[in-house]
Structure 1
């Protein structure tokens, strides 16, 4: 039997994660069975279990994959050397979140992850670790805003960054569940608070 390449192994793993994501978006973590993931992936039972020991491990992989996308987007906002003023940067973060609130986006799945993290220690640990780099990007935005005079010179950038980061998933939850408020309203409210 020929040896499988790393690319082949990664593609199979990706196939299973994508299938599980589809199932979880359709029915949620709790209501999805391993059999449904296996059928969605189009693989044999043995093939799926070769990559994952069970549903808990797949849930962690799907959560990690989803948060990787969000972290990468937020890091891009903070890494931009010609960073936009703070309110524009927050509007960009909210625009990204808005795009991810639709079908197949990260935030409908995030609701599942957050609910699961309240009960599952492994998922809780993963999310706690993943939130640190996300929050750090908003601290970077706050530091730049303070250095440019957009915030008071003595502003606690750690506190401002934490508040700004909390705003994004908080708004995304509201938007995912109710469709409102729109992001322009949130930015206008933030502008009124900062000015």
Structure 2
């Protein structure tokens, strides 16, 4: 029997994640069953369960994938010398949010995951780990900005990193729940706060 290539396994896994994301965006996390995702992916039950055993595994994989894009951008900025000002970094991160809103709507899943994390300890632990990576990088960004003179020398980088991360989450919530906020207006507000 021929062996299945790693590329085929990765493509099948991505097919499932894309199907799950479409279902979660369209119907919400709780209203989507595993059968809905299996049908959307066009797979047999056995083929599906080879890759994922639960909705929590699906949501964790989707969140991890999206957060990797954010951490990748932050890592890229942290490698630059000099590092750009915080509002520029914020603008780039919010551009990712805008793309996820427009392209496939997956940013809506973030809000669902946050709500689920409050009630489900397993999801809560996964969210804490995944989002903790972003906050850690936000703290490192604040440390670098402070060392470059962009922030006051007596400022607390941990507090600034937490606030920076909260500003990104706030933008997501406002886009999803209220609408009517554009990235440039938001980033200009961040610039004014930092001035």
> TM-score scaled by structure 2?
0.89
Classify 1:52/1:94 alpha carbon distance in 2 versus 1 (closer, same or farther; 3 Å). Answer: closer
Unaligned runs of 5+ in 1: none
* Number of residue pairs aligned between Structure 1 and Structure 2: 195
> For the Cα contact (< 8 Å) 1:102–1:108, is it kept in 2?
no
Once the two structures are superposed, residues 17-55 of structure 1 have per-residue CA deviations (whole angstroms, 9 ceiling, x without a partner) of 111111111111111112211111111111112222233
> TM-score scaled by structure 1?
0.89
What residue in structure 1 maps to residue 7 of structure 2? 7
> For the Cα contact (< 8 Å) 2:83–2:145, is it kept in 1?
no
Partners of 1:32 and 1:8 lie apart in 2 by 26
> For the Cα contact (< 8 Å) 1:38–1:45, is it kept in 2?
yes
Task: State the 4+ residue runs in structure 1 displaced beyond 4 angstroms.
Answer: none
What residue in structure 2 maps to residue 183 of structure 1? 183
Task: Report deviation, 1:103.
Answer: 4.7
Partners of 1:20 and 1:3 lie apart in 2 by 26
What residue in structure 1 maps to residue 147 of structure 2? 147
Partners of 2:6 and 2:99 lie apart in 1 by 32
Task: Report deviation, 1:95.
Answer: 2.4
Unaligned runs of 5+ in 2: none
Q: How does 1:112-191 map to 2 (within 5 A)?
A: 112-191=112-191
Classify 1:5/1:191 alpha carbon distance in 2 versus 1 (closer, same or farther; 3 Å). Answer: closer
Partners of 1:37 and 1:161 lie apart in 2 by 37
**SS of residue matched to 1:51:** coil
The more displaced of 63-72 and 171-180 is: 63-72
Classify 1:61/1:148 alpha carbon distance in 2 versus 1 (closer, same or farther; 3 Å). Answer: closer
What residue in structure 1 maps to residue 40 of structure 2? 40
Q: How does 1:16-35 map to 2 (within 5 A)?
A: 16-35=16-35
Q: How does 1:68-83 map to 2 (within 5 A)?
A: 68-83=68-83
What residue in structure 1 maps to residue 110 of structure 2? 110
**SS of residue matched to 1:181:** coil
CA RMSD of aligned residues (A): 1.9
Partners of 2:56 and 2:194 lie apart in 1 by 43
> For the Cα contact (< 8 Å) 1:77–1:93, is it kept in 2?
no
Once the two structures are superposed, residues 102-136 of structure 1 have per-residue CA deviations (whole angstroms, 9 ceiling, x without a partner) of 25144211112111111222211111001222112
Partners of 1:88 and 1:51 lie apart in 2 by 39
Task: Report deviation, 1:193.
Answer: 2.5
